[in-house]
Amino acid sequence: MKTKIYDIPSLENIAGEAYNMISKDIDKAFESATKAILEGGTVAFPTETVYGLGANALSAKAIQKIFEAKGRPLDNPLILHIWNRDQLEGLVLEIPEKATKIMDVFWPGPLTIILPRKPEVPDAVTAGLSTVAVRMPDHPIAMKLLKQVNLPIAAPSANLSGRPSPTKGEHVVEDLNGRVNVIIKSNETKVGIESTVIDMSGDVPTILRPGIITKGQIESVIGRVQMDQALTEKDFQGIPRAPGMKYTHYAPKAAMTILDGQADDKKIEKINQLLIKTENISAGIASRKPALVLSEELARMLATGNNTSLTVYTYGSRRKPEQAAHAFFDILRKCDTECVDFIIAEALPDTDEVGFAVMNRMMKSAGHNIIGV
Ligand code: TXA
Ligand code: MG
């Protein structure tokens, strides 16, 4: 399939003269994207969290194309994106008062709300569940597209299944060029990790996927909220309530080890030990290319000496985990393009709620391989 790729600026900071100069390009991109959705095709577009791969949510045939393009397991339901709350009327059976309250505060924004669904929503979207996930994205390109098609758009992250979610247009092109009808490339996404998913269909509101909107923030609006056991219980053996949370995700090609601990000198000691071990291995077999993924605080303390083959990526300050949320998926992809085959990553404190959301992704990308120091 020939993918039409349009590169346009985020419509956020563009007005007047500057807009007029490129308005033709912008119009062309939206015309093409709108047409593709209305004809039952697939369009990748930016949101404030990560790029999404969208199709008409009311067409089972269009939805099927998303699953095919991504290689996504069919039992993993999709999030419906809307631009106007009136659209919920056709999608959900009821909106509990608490759900309305969090929509008032957090929409448009990176919060996905699960509600009992209407039968009109195709089974393919919900993987046969009795609920449906909806969100209103806080991004001018996503919102403009949603407005123009005036249909709910089902959109998972625009990556091949299993790969890190795309935070840059080039990530989407890398994964989906030739597999979808249209890609709208634009700026890097702001948040960098996917939306918080909260289930409002039961008695106690339950977070199924942590994100930048935290449990604490939601509790300050509606009172008690719980975390799905799959997120908090070590060695959880059950089935997570969000089907997507059971899959291995974000796995870089490299083997990955996470270092967790309080003392920086201990972490550095361990890093050096692990690096010496890889050197020994690489002396025996094919070369090993390690990379470190660290907070800027630890990176500053680390003397890389004459190990010039060592790549160090920093995800920002450990005191500002939203920086790590923004950078993490891009770093994983860079490790792949640089053919890194061994990653040592520093854990963030998961006592911070955003740190917890980042650690949820980091643990998956490392296949839960973590060592305490
Ligand atoms: O930020 C985001 O949420 C991005 C952008 C594009 O909006 N989308 C995204 O979609 O991350 P996806 O498909 O990669 O993740 C959706 C998650 C999966 O874990 C899925 O299992 C869960 O939401 N989910 C969807 N519908 C559900 C439902 N009815 N009940 C429980 N979990 C559901
Ligand atoms: Mg995804």
Q: Which residue, judged by its Cα, is nearest atom 10 of ligand 1?
A: 156
The number of the ligand nearest the C-alpha atom of 208 reads 1
pLDDT of residue 85: 98
User: What residues does ligand 1 touch, defined as CB less than 6 Å away?
Assistant: 47, 49-50, 52, 76-79, 110, 112, 114, 126, 129, 131-133, 137, 155-157, 194-195, 197, 208-209, 241-245
Which residue type occupies 66? I
The number of the ligand nearest the C-alpha atom of 49 reads 1
For the stretch 86-121, pLDDT in tens is 999 999 999 999 999 999 999 999 999 999 999 999
pLDDT of residue 237: 84
d(CA 28, CA 4) in angstroms, rounded, equals 11
d(CA 133, CA 127) in angstroms, rounded, equals 11
| Bridge partners for 45 per DSSP | 52
Rounded mean pLDDT of 73-87?
A: 97
Phi, psi of 148 (to 5 degrees): -65, -40
Res 248 pLDDT > 90: no
pLDDT of residue 335: 96
d(CA 230, CA 209) in angstroms, rounded, equals 9
Rounded mean pLDDT of 285-302?
A: 88
pLDDT of residue 288: 77
pLDDT of residue 340: 94
pTM for this prediction: 0.95
Res 236 pLDDT > 90: no
pLDDT of residue 280: 66
Res 250 pLDDT > 90: no
pLDDT of residue 287: 60
Q: Which token pair is 309?
A: 């083959």
For the stretch 298-324, pLDDT in tens is 999 987 665 666 899 999 999 999 999
Distance from the CA of 38 to the center of ligand 2, in angstroms?
Answer: 23
Ligand 1 site-directed mutation target among 49, 53, 70, 79, most atoms within 8 Å of CB: 79
Atom of ligand 1 nearest to the CA of 197: 23
pLDDT of residue 283: 60
The number of the ligand nearest the C-alpha atom of 77 reads 1
pLDDT of residue 152: 98
Distance from the CA of 340 to the center of ligand 2, in angstroms?
Answer: 23
Ligand 1 site-directed mutation target among 130, 157, 201, 250, most atoms within 8 Å of CB: 157
Atom of ligand 1 nearest to the CA of 112: 3
Distance from the CA of 208 to the center of ligand 1, in angstroms?
Answer: 10
Distance from the CA of 148 to the center of ligand 1, in angstroms?
Answer: 23
pLDDT of residue 310: 86
Distance from the CA of 154 to the center of ligand 1, in angstroms?
Answer: 10
Distance from the CA of 79 to the center of ligand 1, in angstroms?
Answer: 5
The number of the ligand nearest the C-alpha atom of 207 reads 1
The number of the ligand nearest the C-alpha atom of 156 reads 1
Torsion of CA 11, 28, 48, 227, to 10 degrees: 150
Atom of ligand 1 nearest to the CA of 209: 19
For the stretch 5-50, pLDDT in tens is 999 988 877 777 777 778 888 999 999 999 999 999 999 999 999 9
Mean pLDDT (the chain, rounded): 94
Q: Which residue, judged by its Cα, is nearest atom 15 of ligand 1?
A: 156
